[in-house]
Amino acid sequence: MLMANTSEGNLYYFWLQNVAEFLTNESRMNFVDNIWNATNPFAGISNVSGNGETYPLLNVFYHSSYYAYGTPEINYTFPFAFYFLISENYNS
């Protein structure tokens, strides 16, 4: 969870997700990045810089939008290893 405290005293919480999706029967995989605004149950997300897009949610009980980016699928063979890094930058 990323906590952003603005100079105006506002506090925001963001859930940053890195996901590896595997199609094991095809030995293919890709990576997906998501950002969710967890400040309150109906918070959305905007003003995100990156290669992805913001998407609206039709769920009336939680979040109005989220940011997502997915890489193209790649083939993998064993041994196979990777690690996740998250880099954040906040500009008000």
Burial group, residue 47, by CB count within 10 angstroms (0-12, 13-18, 19+):
exposed
Amino acid 90: pLDDT: 66
pTM: 0.80
Amino acid 24: pLDDT: 95
Q: Tokens for 27?
A: 């030995």
Amino acid 71: pLDDT: 97
Confidence check: pLDDT of 84 > 70? yes
pLDDT band of residue 92 (cuts 50, 70, 90) is low
pLDDT tens digits, 37-63 = 999 888 888 888 889 999 988 776 777
